[in-house]
Structure 1
């Protein structure tokens, strides 16, 4: 009987060890699935499926190699590997820090995971349509996010863009004329469709390169 009890204890220990190893494997598997699902966990590498999913999310405006480069940049910006980028981290991209609309743009990018980071940048792609570019500009102008922009909303952005090169009087004249030609007045509130009608022929230059070095 004395030699039998240690054997039982040893088998029990082995069984417990086996169960613990199985739990560890399951836990690791769940963490891996979760990180891939979030598409923002910078500790995991992108799979071919991930790349194609991101490519579809940004309407194929970036090639697969460009997405890999953007992922490298995303990981560099996401300093603590949180899975998303804060507005302060985004400011470390010189092209955005120097942009006169940077403070307005930061409200749109704070907390983006990788998929949404790429989707946001897709409007700056050379392959983006005019409608996609104008839609982003509309979102910048729509400061209170109510789906409409007023004459004053647009005036404020024009102030940011033109600085001291134009007076308020000049800005009002130019904007008033553009809106009048499209059939609107300074009292009009423009929806996205209205905005595209007024400014859709301006062909905005919004190409921005995100360095990965």
Structure 2
């Protein structure tokens, strides 16, 4: 299950569904598998960073380099698990967890002012000065009850995003 020549069995589909907390139905799993096989051009059973960068929407994303750290070398089950945060059926906690990992690039379980500033820089490029980014971020943190010295943890992200009207969903086309 993972290289282009293999076929998904009913057992494989059910195993993947369990792995992603049943956030995708059988048809969606099959569609995701077809896309996965297209991306796994080498047929090795995992998708490399270079293969991910062949997806135009991924390559154009200003956070592509951060996301690559999370997706490089994913097998099919982990590919589906990663995408499950984008399911309409995913909980706010699952969505916030993915976003938290994007900000917590060193994987230490906490997000600092500088971590957020780096992501903001990735997203805005040279459109804003460093001073503007720092000013906006400082104000935003203060409005949320945090300071520049605060560490944000996953629970903080869940709390912050629960108050928002965030839509982080991708529709899986099924044939």
TM-score by length of 1: 0.74
How far did residue 199 of structure 1 move? 4.0
In the alignment, structure 2 segments of 5+ residues that lack a partner are: none
The answer to whether 1:43 aligns with 2:12 is no
How far did residue 79 of structure 1 move? 1.3
Map Cα deviations across residues 15-42 of structure 1 (whole Å, 9 max, x no partner).
xxxxxxxxxxxxxxxxxxxxxxxx4243
Is the contact between residue 57 and residue 119 of structure 1 (CA under 8 Å) also seen in structure 2? yes
Map 1:25-44 → 2, pairs under 5 A: 39-44=1-6
Map 1:113-152 → 2, pairs under 5 A: 113-152=75-114
Is the contact between residue 13 and residue 29 of structure 2 (CA under 8 Å) also seen in structure 1? yes
How far did residue 210 of structure 1 move? 6.6
Map 1:84-103 → 2, pairs under 5 A: 84-103=46-65
Map Cα deviations across residues 64-94 of structure 1 (whole Å, 9 max, x no partner).
1111011111111111211111011011222
Structure ranking higher on relative contact order (CA contacts 8 Å, 6+ apart): 2
Aligned residues: 175
Partner of 2:36: 74
TM-score by length of 2: 0.88
Is the contact between residue 3 and residue 40 of structure 2 (CA under 8 Å) also seen in structure 1? no
How far did residue 146 of structure 1 move? 0.7
The answer to whether 1:57 aligns with 2:19 is yes
Q: Which runs of 4+ in 1 moved over 4 A?
A: 209-212
Map Cα deviations across residues 91-111 of structure 1 (whole Å, 9 max, x no partner).
122221111111110111011
Query: RMSD across aligned C-alpha pairs, in angstroms?
Result: 2.2
Is the contact between residue 53 and residue 59 of structure 2 (CA under 8 Å) also seen in structure 1? yes
The answer to whether 1:112 aligns with 2:74 is yes
Q: Distance in 1 between matches of 2:31 and 2:17?
A: 13
Is the contact between residue 2 and residue 37 of structure 2 (CA under 8 Å) also seen in structure 1? no
How far did residue 59 of structure 1 move? 1.5
